[in-house]
């Protein structure tokens, strides 16, 4: 089997995984049992397909095996009678008929909502979503977050136990599913961000996590096509992911927007972002939509010099009016510097370096160092670069900052 | 050449799997079976009806002797994760008859 065929197979399994978990969960009602059944289903495919060939409709085959296994389990444990009502629609058909498509979609959405239940802390929501919806193993999740497998395993066990103890049911009429959408979006964004800008380690990006985040966002738009916010998240992630390959040079050096080769940006993802953004504009102008609009300004500018900084600043003004956080203020200050020059932005940065949420991170110092440098204040620039270097935890960013400081130091030394 | 029965069982707790891992495993198993067929060593196979059972697959293979069959069994176990039991099906004379 070629690498291409393996990738195609992995794509099928990835797509089917949350459908299978949802279908199993609908029958057995317990997250751990559903996970076991889905694993067993994949293993059945690994046992049989190499000998019998890949079935014509692999998704239908997997769903049938999964449901049969779940039904057998329920029957074996003597719970069949209690479940008759929920089983009735499933007993009729083997493969998913057209009428079942909506039900399968609903199952997946309920599964995501269950994983993002407010009873669970955010890190548990993230881990559970990655395991149950994305199908990542404990080890893969641990690797993605640079944590021990035992820590993640414990987190998953605790999360499942919490849901069980609180009798969080996988019910058709769960009224909270729609209400949980904001936390679902948060979890997916968190997964993507952890992958997109790794907070620690030697790699700037952690491809698998970012790709999973983007995939989950796409899945969510399929499941909730009438929710503009989900389209906004998809647009935002598509735009950001379109630059994936150009964010570092071949030798691992961080490349900022002005240094990236725009001809290598992924056009397909940008087009997807533009399409998703159009759908998102049907809703209210919330934080996600505004961030997607900002990402669109960058992604669709033909060159760095052609970036519409006035439009970007206007969007940041709008964003800050509804989400006045230090991070938004910092990004807005950068837009001010680009639209009106570094001198206009410096007072904003001076204020932000005192912000408790920012002063312990490297970004605010790095931005101010750049502004001082552009204004020709070498002493202040070098001092801020030094502070940023003390605080940065990602090796690629550290290298970028060290190079920037060195360039600034060389420049001032030659002037002196 | 003699015929041997290879029984592949999977222990109930065989660890976690993921879409990527399952695809990777399947690619490896498929490649192994293709190799077995190309060399004309696979005589027949059978899969149990009950997919929940520990017995996952049976192969009837041609091998020059028990040691060779056990090597095949070890290879099968490596790619599938099965515990493989190797049993001779025909006695030596039947094998010799076929060789003639």
Sheet holding B42-46, edge to edge: B42-46, B55-63, B2-9, B83-88
CB-CB under 8 Å, B25 with A47: no
Of A140, A122, A119, give the one whose Cα is nearest residue A131: A140
Residue B23: its chain A contacts at CB < 8 A?
Answer: 6-7, 9-10, 12-13
| Beta carbons within 10 angstroms of residue A97's beta carbon | 11
pLDDT over 60 (residue A92): no
Residue A140: its chain B contacts at CB < 8 A?
Answer: 18, 20
User: To probe the interface with A, which of B14, B26, B50 has the most A CB atoms within 10 Å?
Assistant: B26
Orientation of helix A31-52 relative to helix A122-132, angle to 10°? 30
> What ipTM does the predicted assembly reach?
0.85
The predicted-structure confidence for A297-355, as pLDDT tens digits, reads as follows: 999 999 999 999 999 999 999 999 999 999 999 999 999 999 999 999 999 999 999 99
pLDDT at A1: 62
A238, A273 Cβ separation under 8 angstroms? yes
pLDDT at A8: 87
A231, A244 Cβ separation under 8 angstroms? no
What value does the mean pLDDT of chain A take? 85
CB-CB under 8 Å, A39 with B26: no
pTM attached to this predicted model: 0.75
Please give the residue that has the higher pLDDT: either A154 or B91.
A154
A204, A189 Cβ separation under 8 angstroms? no
A191, A126 Cβ separation under 8 angstroms? yes
Determine the distance from the C-alpha atom of residue A200 to the mean position of all C-alpha atoms in its chain, rounded to a whole number. Answer: 17
Question: How does DSSP assign A101-124, residue by residue?
Answer: HHHHHHHHHHHHHHHT-TTS-HHH
Residue B27: its chain A contacts at CB < 8 A?
Answer: 1, 5-6, 9
Whole-number percent of chain A with pLDDT over 90:
47
Instruction: Determine what percent of chain B falls in helix, strand and coil, rounding each to the nearest 5.
Output: 45, 30, 30
Of A53, A131, A401, give the one whose Cα is nearest residue B19: A131
B87, B4 Cβ separation under 8 angstroms? yes
pLDDT at A271: 96
The predicted-structure confidence for A117-148, as pLDDT tens digits, reads as follows: 888 888 899 889 889 888 888 887 887 676 78
The predicted-structure confidence for B51-96, as pLDDT tens digits, reads as follows: 667 889 999 999 999 999 999 999 999 999 899 999 998 665 444 5
């Amino acid at each position: 089997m070629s690498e291409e065929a393996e990738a195609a197979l992995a794509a099928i399994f990835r797509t089917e995984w949350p459908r299978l978990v949802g279908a199993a969960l609908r029958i057995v009602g317990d997250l751990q049992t559903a996970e076991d059944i889905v694993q067993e289903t994949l293993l059945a495919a690994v046992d049989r397909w190499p000998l019998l060939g890949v079935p014509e409709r692999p998704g239908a085959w997997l769903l049938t095996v999964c449901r049969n296994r779940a039904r057998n389990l329920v029957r074996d444990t003597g719970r069949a009678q209690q479940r008759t009502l929920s089983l009735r629609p499933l007993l009729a058909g083997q493969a998913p008929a057209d009428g079942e498509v909506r039900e399968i979609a609903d199952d997946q959405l309920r599964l995501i909502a269950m994983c993002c239940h407010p009873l669970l802390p955010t890190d548990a929501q993230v881990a559970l979503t990655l395991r149950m919806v994305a199908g990542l193993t404990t080890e893969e999740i641990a690797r993605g977050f640079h944590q021990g497998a035992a820590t993640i395993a414990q987190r998953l066990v605790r999360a499942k136990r919490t849901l069980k103890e609180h009798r969080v049911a996988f019910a058709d009429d769960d009224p909270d599913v729609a209400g949980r959408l904001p936390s679902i979006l948060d979890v997916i964004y968190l997964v993507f961000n952890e992958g997109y800008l790794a907070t620690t380690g030697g790699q700037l990006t952690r491809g698998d996590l970012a790709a999973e985040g983007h995939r989950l966002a796409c899945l969510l738009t399929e499941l909730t096509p009438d929710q503009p916010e989900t389209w906004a998240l998809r647009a935002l992630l598509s735009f950001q992911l379109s630059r994936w390959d150009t964010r570092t040079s071949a030798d691992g050096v961080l490349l900022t927007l002005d240094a990236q080769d725009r001809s290598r940006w992924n056009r397909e993802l940008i087009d997807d972002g533009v399409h998703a953004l159009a759908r998102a504009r049907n809703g209210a102008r919330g934080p996600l939509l505004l961030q997607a609009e900002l990402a669109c300004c960058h992604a669709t500018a033909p060159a760095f010099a052609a970036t519409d900084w006035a439009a970007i600043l206007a969007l940041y003004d709008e964003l800050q009016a509804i989400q006045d956080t230090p991070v938004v203020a910092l990004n807005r200050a950068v837009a001010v510097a680009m639209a009106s020059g570094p001198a206009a932005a410096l007072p904003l940065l001076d204020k932000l370096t005192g912000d408790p949420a920012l002063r312990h991170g490297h970004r605010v110092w790095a931005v101010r160092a750049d502004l001082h440098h552009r204004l020709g204040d070498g002493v202040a620039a070098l001092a801020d670069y030094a502070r940023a270097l003390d605080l940065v935890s990602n090796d690629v960013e550290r290298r970028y900052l060290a190079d920037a400081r060195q360039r600034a130091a060389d420049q001032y030394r030659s002037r002196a | 050449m003699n015929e041997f029965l290879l029984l592949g069982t999977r222990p109930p707790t065989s660890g976690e799997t993921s879409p990527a891992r399952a695809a990777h495993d399947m690619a490896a198993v498929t490649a192994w079976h293709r190799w077995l067929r190309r060399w004309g060593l696979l005589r027949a196979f059978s899969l149990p009806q009950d997919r929940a059972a520990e017995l996952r697959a049976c192969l009837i293979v041609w091998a020059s002797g028990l040691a060779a069959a056990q090597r095949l069994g070890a290879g099968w176990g490596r790619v599938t994760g099965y515990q493989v039991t190797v049993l001779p099906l025909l006695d030596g004379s039947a094998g010799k008859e076929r060789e003639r």
